[in-house]
Amino acid sequence: RIPIYGDRATATSETKPLTWRLAHHDAVLDLATYESLRGFEALKIALNQSPDDTLNTIKEAVVKGRGGAGFPAGIKWSLMAPPDGGPRYLVCNADEMEPGTFKDRLLMERLPLQLIEGMLISAYAIGATAGYIFIRGEYILAAERLTAAIEELKANNLVGDNILGSDFSFDLHVHTGAGRYICGEETALINCLEGRRANPRTKPPFPQVAGAWGRPTVVNNVETLHNVSAIILHGSKWYQDLPKAKGVVETPGTKLFGCSGLVNDPGLWELPFGYTAREIIEDFAGGMQEGRTLKAWLPGGASTDFLTAEHLDTVVDFDTIQKAGSRMGTGLLMVVDEEQDMVPLVRNLEIFFQRESCGWCTPCRDGLPWGVKILTAINDGEGQIGDVEKLEGLTRDLWIGKTFCAHAPGAMEPLMSAIKYFRPEFDQKIAQAVGEDVIEAAANQ
Ligand code: L3W
């Protein structure tokens, strides 16, 4: 299905900084077309000012990281270790494997040059000498288009030595992943890039101090880097002042929001912050399909907490979703309808997380399969009294600070929230397995 961009025909670089070039083109793949749409104007502006001025513009704009965590890109950049004459790297995290998330794919397949221009400007700002686009292996078309774009830019002095006659040189490579979700975690990604097993590393040191091959490295998500050229073109104040939809919002800029599940019009839309989940589902995704009622929704990926119909008037923004008890994550809503049974649904998600554990730390390696085992028993009519309490115990034991990285805590978010909001569905299956009389006897003990 082709995603929709809202006011597609009238979009400009000032109104839709991420996707405006798609107003009249399904994709912008060649240099000539890109240049006819203000392509590389921002790079020229950046190269005519100091790296620090460029960095400060992005810092003042406050671009919250779009990979899921929301850490401001400008602050991340300013934490780079000072130059010492050795290599420094910029890595684009294009390992988009979060279930239900398909925003970076669109940006790379249709606007590869905009990502590369963003990377060139970012690399100039942080003094990076080489860059890597670490892309999910299944994104074959995106990888081909990025590779072709880099080749065309090399032939036109826009990638390589002394770009546009300046002192700035930057090599750029596309590196395809081999299908591990954990590579979305930046230090696992760096290990993989180095040819090692993709286990996360201890932080600190953060990659800005000791990243790829031990050198200062910045890792930014595709959508984050896609914002950079428009901010350099129009300034940080313009970015800060971009119109907001109604509602209290803390985040400047626009975002690719999306929706999947049994809605009438699943897709992606570049929107200002401030829309509620209800507005995204009803006004942009066309509402639930006929005969379907919304039961729950995940705000942005499988590693976020379920919310329910009661939370639909929450603005989809980092802080507001957190106050509602979840995380915005990638901002692509996954809608669950009343006919879906939560036990097999959560079991399915937990199978994914157990399979994708790198196996490095014991709680994650052993805890996630244990959770799947209990969920499978409950789902297969072999549940026992106390199983839900065991699952709850697991959500405490696999929480932040008790595991090596955010993978297991992320896996616990949908499990914990499914139990919180839909516990009767778990209890009912257990009661069917052991018999109502056993449940009653246990309750009377
Ligand atoms: C310097 C500090 N840097 C934080 C940086 C940090 C990282 C970013 C976020 O992932 C969720 C996870 C998944 N000095 C810093 C600092 N940083 N404090 O800010 O850091 P953090 O720790 O808040 O999050 P995290 O553990 O990196 C949290 C999702 O992010 N995730 C990401 C996947 C992204 C992709 C993608 O972009 N394609 O796959 C992976 O785990 O949801 O729960 O850069 O270095 N004091």
The pLDDT of 135-142, averaged and rounded, is 97
**Percent of the chain at pLDDT exceeding 90:** 91
Question: Is any atom of ligand 1 closer than 6 Å to the C-beta of 68?
Answer: yes
The residue assigned the tokens 């010492």 is 84
Q: Which amino acid is at 71?
A: F
The pLDDT of 154-182, averaged and rounded, is 97
149-163, 223-237, 240-254, 348-362: the lowest-pLDDT one = 240-254
- Atom 29 in ligand 1: which residue has the minimum CA distance? 68
Cα 78 to chain centroid, rounded: 22
The pLDDT of 145-168, averaged and rounded, is 98
CA of 419 to the centre of ligand 1 (A): 26
What pLDDT sits at residue 15?
87
245 pLDDT band, cuts 50/70/90, is confident
Question: Is any atom of ligand 1 closer than 6 Å to the C-beta of 67?
Answer: yes
What pLDDT sits at residue 12?
85
CA of 10 to the centre of ligand 1 (A): 35
The pLDDT of 66-71, averaged and rounded, is 96
What pLDDT sits at residue 182?
96
Its sign, for the CA torsion 20, 25, 26, 31, is: negative
Mean pLDDT of the chain: 95
Instruction: Report phi then psi at 296, rounded to 5.
Output: -155, 165
Q: Which amino acid is at 445?
A: Q
The pLDDT of 334-347, averaged and rounded, is 98
The CA–CA distances, whole Å, from 284 to 179, 198, 250, 315, 403 equal 31, 38, 22, 14, 38
Atom of ligand 1 minimally distant from the CA of 301 = 42
pTM for this entry: 0.95
**If we measure between CA atoms, which residue out of 19, 49, 238, 46 comes closest to residue 123?**
46
The string of pLDDT tens digits covering residues 263-319 is 999 999 999 999 999 999 999 999 999 999 999 999 999 999 999 999 999 999 999
Question: Is any atom of ligand 1 closer than 6 Å to the C-beta of 71?
Answer: yes
Query: Could you tell which of 187, 203, 304 is best to mutate to test the pocket of ligand 1, judged by most ligand atoms within 8 Å of the CB?
Result: 203
The string of pLDDT tens digits covering residues 179-221 is 899 999 999 999 999 999 999 999 999 999 999 999 999 999 9
CA of 98 to the centre of ligand 1 (A): 14
- Atom 15 in ligand 1: which residue has the minimum CA distance? 206
Cα 222 to chain centroid, rounded: 9
What pLDDT sits at residue 437?
82
The pLDDT of 113-124, averaged and rounded, is 98
What pLDDT sits at residue 441?
81
**If we measure between CA atoms, which residue out of 70, 45, 65, 215 comes closest to residue 125?**
45
Both structure tokens of 365: 């390696």
Strands across the sheet with 171-176, in order?
171-176, 130-135, 89-94, 217-221
What pLDDT sits at residue 7?
59
What pLDDT sits at residue 2?
41
**If we measure between CA atoms, which residue out of 338, 336, 413, 341 comes closest to residue 371?**
413
Q: Which residues are 217's β-sheet partners?
A: 89
Atom of ligand 1 minimally distant from the CA of 136 = 38
**If we measure between CA atoms, which residue out of 231, 276, 206, 252 comes closest to residue 64?**
252
The pLDDT of 397-417, averaged and rounded, is 96
Give the whole-angstrom CA distance, residue 131 versus residue 385: 54
Beta strands in 201-266 (DSSP E): 217-221, 254-260
CA of 143 to the centre of ligand 1 (A): 23
- Atom 45 in ligand 1: which residue has the minimum CA distance? 206
ipTM of the assembly? 0.93
The residue assigned the tokens 């400060």 is 56
**If we measure between CA atoms, which residue out of 440, 399, 428 comes closest to residue 416?**
399
Question: Is any atom of ligand 1 closer than 6 Å to the C-beta of 122?
Answer: no
Atom of ligand 1 minimally distant from the CA of 66 = 37
**If we measure between CA atoms, which residue out of 292, 290, 284, 254 comes closest to residue 266?**
284
Q: What angle, rounded to 10 degrees, do the helices at 362-379 and 407-434 form? A: 30
What pLDDT sits at residue 1?
40
The pLDDT of 425-436, averaged and rounded, is 94
The residue assigned the tokens 């589902």 is 281
Q: What b-and-e string marks burial along 389-427, b requiring 16 or more CB atoms within 10 Å of the CB?
A: eebbebbeebeeeebbbebbbbbbbbbbbbbebbeebbb
Question: Is any atom of ligand 1 closer than 6 Å to the C-beta of 23?
Answer: no
Question: Is any atom of ligand 1 closer than 6 Å to the C-beta of 76?
Answer: yes
What pLDDT sits at residue 9?
66
The CA–CA distances, whole Å, from 353 to 298, 324, 348, 359 equal 16, 24, 9, 11
Q: Which amino acid is at 333?
A: L
